Structure 1
Amino acid sequence: MTRNFQAVPVVDIAGLGSSDPSDRQAVAQSLGRAAREAGFLYVTGHGLDPALIADLLAAAQSYFARPMPVKMGCYIGGSTNHSGYVPEGEEVFPGGKIDKKEAYDIGLDLPAVDDRAPMMGPNLWPDDDDFKAAAAAYYAAISGLARRLFGGFALALGLPQDAFEAHLTCPPSQLRVIHYPFDPQAEPDQQGIGAHTDYEFFTLLHGTAPGLEVMNGEGRWIDCPPIEGAFVVNIGDMLEAWTNGAFVATSHRVRKVGEERYSFPFFATCDYWTVVEPHPAFVSDARPARYPRLVSGDHLMAQTIATFGYLKGRRADFFATPAFGQEAKV
């Protein structure tokens, strides 16, 4: 498959909620085509209340306008489960440059830390009730949409719609609230975020301004600007591995922004201890398994350690996890 797409496809997913199997299958067919040919798509017909996005945007604008010492009071390095404020320079892809962005990372808010699963536990929240309320409401809603998409992708792969349900009991899916400040003095090659693929199963993204670009099979960067009422969805490493490469995790980046930009990616994944390896349905003599057997959460943690400064040296044992994500695809 050449994957030489020139535009990111749009899929209306309203039919996933239909009682008619043919409606659900029609959506699944479109999802599967986009996942195979581009690895990126826009989804409409999702039914999420636009007020959730507006509230999160207002909360993000207020939070990131705070003085740096206040924001650093919730520095992610002080958290128990990789949540909190991420200053510029904290996150760098191996061999890459410092990204021009700041962020706040939020996970599944649990009452206690699981020492065996380092991404699980209570969030580190700022002293800001509006931010916490807006982020928690958005997280709950986008998690529900992600579950629907897991069902749609399962159908697209010829599996039962509930094929992933057993692995979605307590997933360490992460919401990032990202701020890309506009700096007219930035170097011409300064990127908002460097080229990479995402580590999880797939990502659901809302962005407020242009800047996102996707690499096609020709090695060309294709613009992926916001479409009103749509979310961007992209396939991640775990779903590429699960499907033995049938679905593609596509490299993407945020170029130097021409205006202030906010972005809310939700990285949808399965339970921490989910074993990920090519599903038997996608392995044959003609197409042998291409990916190693690994544990979903351990892969996520290993890749996170490789990019976050505060984690390097803390859990060096995780570097033993086979890497096949952004380092192999940039």
Structure 2
Amino acid sequence: MIRTHTGFGALPIVDVGGLYSEDVHERLATARSLDRAARDAGFFYVTNHRVDHTLQTALVEHAQRFFAAPQAWKMRYYIGHSTAHRGYVPEGEEVFAGGKHDRKEAFDTGRDLPLDDPDVKAGTPMLGPNVWPDQAGFREAISGYYDAAFDLGRRLFRGFSLALGLPETHFDAYLHKPPSQLRLVHYPFDASAEDAPGIGAHTDYECFTILLPTAPGLEVMNGDGRWIDAPPIEGAFIVNIGDMLEVWTGGNYVATSHRVRKVTQERYSFPLFFACDYRTVVAPLPQFATPEACAKYPPLAAGEHLFAQTALSFTYLKRRLERGELALPDGSMQLSSFGQEARNAV
């Protein structure tokens, strides 16, 4: 029987220090805490991680410098010029379910792969070289943070493996070259903005997300369908379950719907969307493969799902679809097909 989200009023806090222990019993105890948080809320804080504060500070400072630059200069790095969905995302470029334009700007990066990489040469979507602006120290700061946050993600995945009764390194097999994106997101100050819903409700398309925010604004839907504030906590990351872990667990973990309010405060947000390899086929694990779960969650190609959802969200990709330059993979799902909000809409 699927255990659905609770009517939580605040996000759980999980001390993940035990995942770094050489004592398997400590790792198992932490894994059980992760499991409770993933089942009860699908959104939680993680503390006692090993991502150095200096890396976080450098990330924020370089993002502030970049977004403060003239718009014409930033558009030199427009994401629509990229072959691998990397670069600057101007305000209004993204459109969520319901056709609502998003009031933010962003800069998208990922694992920096050379043009002669076999998967890049084969034209695999979402894989390829990063776009690096001509800003001293930007590449080093963003790459350093990416690597550290990715290491945390690998550690969390091992915790989820233990929580799900799998060998600790089970998911390592799907992490050779994942299209895990790190986004630098800027919500500009708007003195006229009301404290009201802003970015449309959505789930994240990957396995889970590791988020570093600088200010309040994030809201999470609980099991009762109510929106709950998820403000930053000093020294903690916010982690949320994505679509692929919902599928793998047959809905026992839910890709929790979330949104960002319009607030009269400048805000930066840095999500690392932790994905599995592009060609990974995801379906309910054997312990969750009930007839009901298998009917609801047929096998899904992880990379194709990510690409399809991205293509339906970004204006430059939607135009390529309209011109016939791109095609969605067969069986592509509509936006907002997962998550607590989708369940409440049924």
Same-fold call, TM cutoff 0.5: yes
Residue aligning to 1:310: 316
Residue in 1 aligned with 2:344?
Answer: none
1:159 paired residue number: 166
Q: Which one of the candidate residues 45, 48, 54 is aligned to 2:48? A: 45
Alignment of 1:104-183 (within 5 A): 104-112=107-115, 113-183=120-190
Partner of 1:281: 287
Q: CA deviation at 1:204?
A: 0.0
Residue 240 of structure 2 is aligned to residue 230 of structure 1: no
Cα offset, 1:48, TM superposition: 1.1
1:107, 1:229 → 2: CA distance? 24
State the distance in 1 between where 2:98 and 2:291 align. Answer: 37
Match among 189, 200, 210 for residue 204 of structure 1: 210
The residue that corresponds to 1:219 in the other structure is 225
Deviation at 1:2, TM superposition (A): 4.9
**What is the DSSP-based 3-state SS (H/G/I as helix, E as strand, rest coil) of the residue aligned with 1:264?**
strand
For the 8 Å contact 1:181–1:261, the answer to whether it is kept is yes
- TM-score under structure 2 length normalisation: 0.91
**By how many angstroms is 1:259 displaced?**
1.1
2:19 is matched with 16
| 1:227-262 C-alpha deviation (Å, 9 max, x unpaired) | 000000000001100111111110001101231100
Q: Shift of the alpha carbon at 1:290?
A: 2.1
The separation in 1 between residues aligned to 2:193 and 2:60, in whole angstroms, is 24
Partner of residue 36, structure 2: 33
- Aligned pair in 2 of structure 1 residues 286, 200: CA closer, same or farther (>3 Å)? closer
Contact 2:5 2:41 survives alignment (8 Å): no
Report the TM-score when normalising by structure 1: 0.95
CA RMSD after TM alignment: 1.6
Task: Identify which of 266, 283, 297 aligns with 1:291.
Answer: 297
Q: Name the aligned partner's letter for residue 168 of structure 2.
A: Q
Q: Which ranges in structure 1 are unaligned for 5 or more consecutive residues?
A: none
Q: CA deviation at 1:128?
A: 1.3
Deviation track 1:100-127 (CA, whole Å, cap 9, x = no partner) reads 1100000110001344411111011111
Could you tell me how far apart the structure 2 residues matched to 1:197 and 1:81 are? Answer: 22
**SS of the residue aligned with 1:27?**
helix
The one of 318, 321, 330 aligned to 2:331: 321
Residues 262 and 89 of structure 1: CA distance in aligned 2, closer, same or farther (over 3 Å) = same
Q: Where in structure 2 are the equivalents of 1:72-83 lying within 5 Å? A: 72-83=75-86
Please say if residues 96 and 335 of structure 2, whose CA atoms lie closer than 8 Å, have aligned partners that are also in contact.
no
The secondary structure found in structure 1 opposite 2:137 is helix
- The 1:101/1:159 distance shift into structure 2, 3 A limit, reads same
- Match for 2:131: what amino acid? L
- Cα contact 1:114–1:120 (8 A) shared by 2: no
Residues 290-315 of structure 1 deviation map (CA, whole Å, 9 limit, x = unaligned): 21212111110000000000001435
C-alpha deviations, 1:133-190, integer Å up to 9, x for none?
Answer: 1111111111111000110011111111101011111111000000001101236646
Distance 1:136 1:40, change over 3 A: same
Residue matched to 2:70: 67
Alpha-carbon deviation of 1:287? 5.1
Identity of aligned residues (%): 58
